[in-house]
Amino acid sequence: MNDSPIGIFDSGLGGVYILKKLVKKLPCENIIYVADHKHIPYGKRTKKEIQDRSLAISNWLLKKKCKLIIVACNTATTNAIKLLRKKIEIPIIGVEPAIKPATKKSVSKKIGVLATQGTLKSELFNNTKSAYASDIDVIMQIGFGLVNIVENGEAQKFSTEQILTKNLKILIDNNVDTIVLGCTHYSFLIPTIKKLVPKKIKILDSTKAVVNHTKNVLYKESVLTKNLWKGQVSFYSTGKIKKNIWKKFDIDNVSKIKI
């Protein structure tokens, strides 16, 4: 199993942010990335639809002999992680909004959460909020239009600043001192978000925690690769492949698959 790949999937390109950090941490590992572009966005889909897609992709990755799967999507994690761990025998790592660390960092006891509708409505998210933020004022905001911005490779455009300003307004107006990014797509927007919010506001996502946890699980399971050369990263999409968009993420070769 040591040379078997790590599987990563997301509704689109948001999980590429995690993938790039993972490659830096574990450069010798082989990785397979799946973007479920045919069914993007997950945020507006039903729980059953998200579970069905997550299970179908995970089974496909299992056939590719993956030794571990990262659900690089907050919406898929919060809606399908329990099901995947029941159905899939290899380790499954999810991406949850960083509510717990945000509560520890917050001085004002006011935190903001910017996430998809699917994540904010999920049972797992609300259970986490109740468990760790019962004495914290949590201001929630759906990230309207943000997934499309990242998918179109427009994170640095001026129009993106205008859209982000509208999304962030309620969080800033409520004097939050910490903002949790509850969607992997939003991590690509961190530089722009930092430009738009007061300097005192901390921006948190789950990327570092996911990458470190992945390494720890691989070590615990004794399946870290023993290769000393650079691993191979393969990209797949279930939808139409727009090569000009993928190139904006420094990705040249993508294969279309049916799942």
- Name the residues annotated as catalytic: 73, 183
Task: Classify 111 as helix, strand or coil.
Answer: strand
Give the position of tokens 């019962």: 134
Non-local (6+) Cβ contacts of 199 within 8 A are none
Cα-to-chain-centroid distance, residue 217: 18
Distance CA 159, CA 151 (A): 15
Task: Classify 90 as helix, strand or coil.
Answer: coil
- The conformation of residue 183, written as its DSSP 8-state character, comes to S
- The conformation of residue 5, written as its DSSP 8-state character, comes to P
Distance CA 85, CA 7 (A): 15
